[in-house]
Amino acid sequence: MGKKEYIEKSIQQLTQVWLYRACAMGTVLFIILGVLDYVSTPENFKTFIQYRIIIASILFTIALLAKKLESRHFQSLQSVLLYAVVVSSAVTIELMILQFGGYKSSYYVGMILLSICVLGFIPLSVFFSLTSILLIYSIYLFPILLTEETIDFQTFFTSNAFMISVFITALVWRYLSQKSLINELGLQYDLDNEKNKLKKYSQHLEEVVEERTRDLRQSEAMLKTLFENANDGIVIIDDRGVVVDVNQRACEMYGMEKEDFIGTEIERLGPDTDKNRILWRERLERLLNGEPLLFETEHHGNNGGKVSIEISAKAVRIDGRLLIQTIHRDLTEKKRLQSQLLHSQKMESIGTLAGGIAHDFNNILTAILGYADLILLNDKIPPEISNKVRVIETSARQASQMVSKLLSFARRGSVESVPFAVNSVIEDTLSMVSRLVPKNITISKDLDPALPPVEGDVSQIEQVLMNLIINAKDAMPDGG
């Protein structure tokens, strides 16, 4: 709604309200002022009271219409109702003037009261105000001029001059009041418009604040969830190295409750030595200077033993407060996997070395066996020499079998599935690795001689058995 429409609508609403009030007041005044009729002109009292009842009924009806009609219906009837009030009231007063002295009657004051009520209470436009005054004065003047035969000019002039002065004053007052009302309504419109803008801005601001608050809460909840459910331990310390917050994983790693953890100096998580304390102080100083750190150390674990820990640390500033975030990662599993990998690489190197040695050694054994066979083919050698040669041949063949086992252990890549006796493979593997087992470790075996042959790759089975034996040996450093 524009400013002009707002002012017009507001004036229409005020007109409807004040028309109702003016008509209601006029109804009461017309009845009450009947007392003047009884005092001033008793002979006309009965006639005048009838006039007053009729006009009071008309005004009361118009008052009800002004109150009950909806704004859109009142707008179409506004002019009719206003002119009906003016004309009916002026005609009633004029009838009483004509019957009680004409232009000499003091009842002309009623016309003045009517103009004051109409222009003073009802916010009429200048056009309505002017036409209303002209109607009132015309209804007063023309019947007198038409009915009076002789007129006392001095009395007539005085009454009309006074009446016209009041009319002009009322018109000027109405014009100024109407102008002031329009300005006031314009200011009210601007004020309401600014209030609406401010209200919309306030609502928008509230929505933005609510949305930001909701996002902040979601962000805080998400960060809290990530903090508490991280796979690594997170320990927040202040610039003095005192723990101010920890997550659940850190509590589990160190076997401490959160309430006991907070307030602990970070250096107390490690060994209680001067070296550890000095080292932590140096790290803390570097962190406070803005240097991020990544290092390995040993801390007390939840089982009371020492645990290898990798710590990533960096200083951050939150709300003007300098804090240090440290992320603790348990390296136990990593160290175990590294050890297994190292062992696997060692075994692979041993296998490669064993394969190379076996090939070279097999060539030497081939020469020994070949020359031993040639010697035994000679029938002229003495028996004691042939017996010694056979011992050499037997030993060489045993060595050749061991070389074959080493070659089988070192073989990689191809898979050869053949039937084999499990007990024989176990015995051969034990004989090959028995020298690798310390004397304080005893290998116990319980073999079923009735085991049937199985089909598979002998070299891979031997590798599995060898890994099991070596892993068992490594797991018993004190023997068993």
Task: Specify the pTM.
Answer: 0.48
CB 170 within 8 A of CB 120: yes
117 burial via Cβ count (<10 Å: 0-12, 13-18, 19+): buried
Q: How far apart are CA 400 and CA 392, in angstroms?
A: 12
Coil, strand or helix at 4: helix
CB 141 within 8 A of CB 167: no
Coil, strand or helix at 293: strand
Q: How far apart are CA 459 and CA 451, in angstroms?
A: 19
Going by the DSSP 8-state scheme, the letter that residue 270 receives in this structure is S
CB 264 within 8 A of CB 277: no
pLDDT tens sequence for the chain (480 residues) = 788 888 888 888 888 888 888 999 999 999 998 898 888 889 999 999 999 999 999 999 999 988 887 777 777 788 888 999 999 999 999 999 988 888 888 888 989 998 988 888 888 888 889 999 999 999 999 998 888 776 778 888 888 899 899 999 999 998 998 899 889 988 988 898 888 889 999 999 999 999 999 998 888 888 888 888 888 889 999 988 899 999 988 888 888 888 888 998 888 888 878 888 888 888 888 988 989 999 888 877 766 677 788 889 999 988 888 899 899 888 877 777 777 777 777 767 776 776 677 777 777 877 887 777 778 777 778 888 888 877 887 777 777 767 766 666 665 445 567 888 888 888 877 876 776 677 788 888 888 888 888 888 777 787 788 778 877 877 776 766
Residues 6+ apart with CB under 8 A from 155: 103, 104
Residue ranges and CATH numbers for the domains of the chain are: 3-198 (no CATH), 231-330 (3.30.450.20), 333-412 (1.20.58), 413-480 (3.30.565.10)
Backbone angles phi, psi at 236, to 5 degrees: -100, 125
Q: How far apart are CA 328 and CA 234, in angstroms?
A: 6
Q: How far apart are CA 187 and CA 194, in angstroms?
A: 10
Smallest Cα–Cα separation from 71: which of 31, 14, 150?
14
Taking the alpha carbons at both ends of the chain, their separation in whole angstroms is: 99
